[in-house]
Chain A
Amino acid sequence: RKEVEQDPGPFNVPEGATVAFNCTYSNSASQSFFWYRQDCRKEPKLLMSVYSSGNEDGRFTAQLNRASQYISLLIRDSKLSDSATYLCVVNPGYKLSFGAGTTVTVRA
C-alpha cells in the first residue's frame, strides 16, 4: 500500500466553482501534513500546511481527519491560475512522503 494515495483526477471545473479532493495516508505516526502545488514542468511549491483544527488561506481550506487518516483541500471561487497538480504530503520526520497528485483544470 502506498504511503499517500490521491485521486489523480483530472477535476475539470468552470471558473468560480468550488472543487474539493482528498488524500489518504497509511502511517498513523505522521505528524505534519501539507499541500504542495506543482505547475506543469515546474518544481513543487508549498501551498499550505494542514493543522489539526483545519485552516484557511484565502480561497483554500485544508482539513485533517486523523481518525480516518485523510486530508482534504477545498478551493473556492476557482481561478484559471488554480490549474495545477496538487500534491498531498505527509511525514513522520524530516522525510516527506508525496502523493502522486490530483490534477485540477479550471476552464473559462
Chain B
Amino acid sequence: DAGVIQSPRHEVTEMGQEVTLRCKPISGHDYLFWYRQTMMRGLELLIYFNNNVPIDDSGMPEDRFSAKMPNASFSTLKIQPSEPRDSAVYFCASSKTSGVPYEQYFGPGTRLTVT
C-alpha cells in the first residue's frame, strides 16, 4: 500500500518567493494534518482537515501560510511570501476515524530552505 506522499522532497527558494507543498494522504483516510518541525520548536501542528474541511488552523503562524484540500486525495500548503524563518521540515500526516483511533501516518516530509 502506498503511504502518504509528499512533494517536493526538498525545496530551496529565495526570500519573498511563493512556495507550494503538496500531499496525497493514504486512500480511505479522512483526516489530514500539516506539521512543521524545527530543532528549536520541535514538531508543531499547523492545520488539520476532516473530510476535506479545515477544522483547526490555530497553528498556522501567520497570514503568509494557507492550506487547502480540494478533494480527499490532495492537499497543499502554501507560503507566500516565504521568509528565512520558514526553513523547516514540513510533514503531512493522515489518519482515519475507524481502526486504531488517532494513529497518524506521516509522509517523508518536505525539507524547505529559504535563503
A45 and B106 contacting across the interface, CB-CB below 8 Å: yes
Complex Cα gap A95–B56 (Å): 9
Complex Cα gap A35–B87 (Å): 26
Q: Produce 1/0 per residue, A76-108, CB < 8 A to B.
A: 000000000001000100111011110000000
A32-B102, A42-B108, A45-B106 known; A94 and B50 CB under 8 Å?
yes
Residue A49, interface by CB 8 Å: yes
B103 and A44 contacting across the interface, CB-CB below 8 Å: no
Instruction: List the A residue with the shortest CB-CB distance to B3.
Output: A43
Residues in A29-47 with C-beta less than 8 Å from chain B: 32, 34, 42-46
The minimal Cβ–Cβ distance linking B59 to chain A, given in whole angstroms, is 9
B103 and A46 contacting across the interface, CB-CB below 8 Å: yes
A95 and B48 contacting across the interface, CB-CB below 8 Å: yes
A44 and B106 contacting across the interface, CB-CB below 8 Å: yes
Helix, strand, loop or mixed for chain B's interface? strand
Total residues of chain B contacting the partner, CB 8 A:
21
Residues of the A chain whose Cβ atoms lie less than 8 Å from the Cβ of B108: 42-43
B45 and A96 contacting across the interface, CB-CB below 8 Å: yes
Instruction: List the A residue with the shortest CB-CB distance to B107.
Output: A43
**Which A residues form the contact surface with B (CB < 8 A)?**
32, 34, 42-46, 49, 87, 91, 94-96, 98-101
Top 5 nearest A-B pairs (CB, nearest first) are: A43-B106, A100-B42, A98-B43, A32-B102, A44-B106
